[in-house]
Amino acid sequence: MVPKRKKIAMYAAMIIITAIVVFPFLWMVLLSFKSSSEIMSNPLAMPKAFNLDNFKHALETLNFPQLYANTFVVCILSVVLELIITFCSSFVIARMEFKHPKAKSLLYGFLILGLSVSPFILLFPVYKINIFFGLRGKWALIFPYAASSISFNTLLLTAYLKQLPTEIDEAAVIDGCNIWQLMVKVILPMSKPVIATIVIFNVLYIWNEYPYASVMLKDVSDYTLSMGASFFKGNYTVDYGGIVASSLMIIVPELIFYGLFQKNIVEGMTAGAVKG
């Protein structure tokens, strides 16, 4: 039984944290109804009139259907590619026996080592690699996004696959499964919770990623959503109202996506954490 005072303190802390998290979004909503001059003169004041001029200007300036389509293509191809790579490597590390035990630890350490390197430090080397292989447009983003997510995906997948009983593999092999059938028909369906978590985290990362997109994309027809707000910044002027309105139109679908699948994140992150 939790003491009453402790319960009140917990609720108070939850309310404060929620307010801190929600305030920036609510502030952005208010700013989207204000002109650039109002935003600059008094950003914390309520808008003089709730008009949709900023949203109309954003829709006229940006080709949102194309931006959304490009982002979806990059997200889907990147996530599929990285899932294929990381599921296979994680299966090998977690479920198979190596002739030299240290080889498994070295392989796992090599893949996890990427977590200690910021992907933005690799921006210039990746740019040079793309030029060397002739990768342009969306493909100049798909491969770097997939590569930069391998370490995080391996960390989650390997931890999950290790906690699955080894008797499952033995029973499948006895029933006549080869290695590919074991992976695809037995282990893969059991890995849905952690795979859902990986998909959500990676989609959110790709949806918001800007530095790579700003460097790799040259053609406007290939621009993703994260590049949208940059259209409102010129050499000498900045349309703050347009930036806020376009950013809000980019963030809202992301919040809906996160809200619909937040249960999967919790399930995937806690799956296998407690063993019976």
pLDDT at 60 over 50: yes
Calculate the average pLDDT of the chain: 85
Q: What is the SS3 assignment for 233? A: strand
- Run of H or E residues at 128: helix 123-133
pLDDT confidence of 264, banded at 50, 70, 90?
A: low
Mean pLDDT of 116-132: 89
Among left, alpha and beta (phi > 0; psi -120 to 50; other), residue 176 is left
Output Rg (C-alpha) for the chain, integer angstroms: 23
CA distances from 244 to 59, 83, 102, 205, 226 (A): 13, 34, 52, 20, 13
Query: How confident is the model at residue 1, as a pLDDT?
Result: 59
pLDDT of residue 268: 57
**Dihedral through CA 102, CA 105, CA 111, CA 116, nearest 10?**
-120
**242, 57 contact by CB (below 8 A):** yes
Q: Which residues pair with 238 in a beta bridge?
A: 233
Work out the average pLDDT over 239-268. Answer: 78
Tokens of 234: 């010129």
- Model pTM above 0.85: no
Joined together, the tokens standing for residue 236 give: 């000498």
Residue 258 pLDDT class (50, 70, 90 cuts): confident
217, 142 contact by CB (below 8 A): no
Average pLDDT on 230-239 reads: 77
- For residue 223, the 8-state DSSP code is -
Is it the case that residue 273 has pLDDT exceeding 50?
no
Please give the pLDDT value at position 76.
Answer: 94
Q: Per-residue pLDDT for 142 more than 90?
A: yes
CA–CA dist 267, 269 (Å, integer): 6
Least confident of 17-26, 96-105, 186-195: 96-105
Residue 275 has pLDDT above 50, yes or no: no
